[in-house]
């Protein structure tokens, strides 16, 4: 879905999201949160990539070109991108790949190299792989179908990438088990890392507390935070991944 953002005054950062009303009716009642897929500054548009799964996303497919969409944002905290050299590493599964696409776009615009491991059930299920390649990212695909998406195989792949490249930062979204793996490996190698969390949201403004998660803050104290407000992007080392 491509929307005209020419009247948007705020800066939009990769990792942030917009809350989208699916229909001009009371059902479905709740809006749906969508992370930024692409930020097109030249033609002042924003792109959202979504998978049609339920009534909300099904209703969104009924929007016509030239029509109006009721959305608000940008919301939440985006990715930190303070990389000046080296390579960024992205690890994602499923629709989480779409969340990292805007990050690959920013890396390309800054002249920073990027490499991505994309996980899915099958190659046909992959989202945004061609988009990431279009931004110059080197892509590695792992799938259940080919028996390559297991944690140990991905660990070996990460070890090889980290030995061959100077990884300045790592980012992940879409899989708890792969995020735990990256959390472990980046901590061992002292690599800056962030995670974009996916949670069901009620209000997306921090009022309803429907999207909470547990983190350890900078002092190591465990506390509960709202994904929509304090996140959805958090330092990977702080998030409690059960």
Binding residues for [2Fe-2S] cluster: 203, 208, 211, 228
- What does the block give as tokens for 181? 């793996």
Strands 138-143 and 113-120: parallel
The tokens describing 96, both together, are 């989480």
Strand-pair category, 87-93 with 167-173:
parallel
Q: Cα dist. 121→82, 100, 147, 153, 176 in Å?
A: 33, 18, 9, 15, 15
Alpha carbon distance 109, 103 (integer Å): 10
Residue list for the binding site? 32-35, 56-57, 203, 208, 211, 228
Query: How crowded is residue 113: how many other Cβ atoms within 10 Å of its Cβ?
Result: 17
Radius of gyration of the chain (CA): 18
String of DSSP letters for 107-144 = HHHTT-EEEEEEEESSGGG--SHHHHHHTT-EEEEEET
* Residue numbers belonging to the annotated binding site for FAD: 32-35, 56-57
- Concatenated DSSP letters for 189-207? HT-EEEEE-----SSSSSS
54/74 Cα distance (integer angstroms): 24
Of 147, 118, 152, nearest in space to 133 by CA: 118
């Amino acid at each position: 879905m491509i929307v005209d953002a020419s009247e948007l005054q705020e800066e939009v950062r990769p990792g942030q999201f917009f809350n989208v009303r699916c229909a001009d009716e009371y059902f479905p009642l709740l809006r749906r949160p969508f992370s930024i897929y692409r930020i097109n500054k030249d033609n002042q548009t924003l792109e959202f990539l979504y998978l049609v799964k339920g009534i909300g996303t099904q209703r969104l497919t009924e929007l016509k070109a030239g029509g109006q969409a009721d959305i608000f944002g940008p919301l939440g905290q985006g990715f930190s991108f303070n990389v000046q050299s080296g390579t960024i590493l992205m690890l994602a599964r499923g629709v989480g790949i779409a969340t990292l696409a805007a990050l690959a776009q920013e890396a390309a615009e800054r002249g920073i190299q990027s490499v991505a491991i994309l996980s899915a059930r099958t190659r046909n299920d992959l989202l945004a792989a061609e988009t990431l390649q279009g931004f110059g990212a080197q892509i590695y695909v792992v799938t259940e179908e080919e028996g390559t998406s297991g944690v140990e195989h991905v660990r070996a792949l990460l070890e090889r990438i980290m030995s061959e490249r100077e990884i300045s930062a790592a980012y992940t979204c879409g899989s708890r088990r792969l995020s735990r793996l990256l959390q472990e490996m980046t901590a061992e190698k002292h690599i800056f890392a962030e995670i974009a969390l996916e949670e069901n949201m009620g209000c997306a403004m921090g009022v309803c507390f429907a999207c909470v998660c547990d983190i350890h803050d900078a002092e190591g104290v465990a506390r509960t935070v709202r994904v929509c407000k304090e996140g959805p992007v958090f330092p990977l080392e702080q998030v409690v991944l059960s």
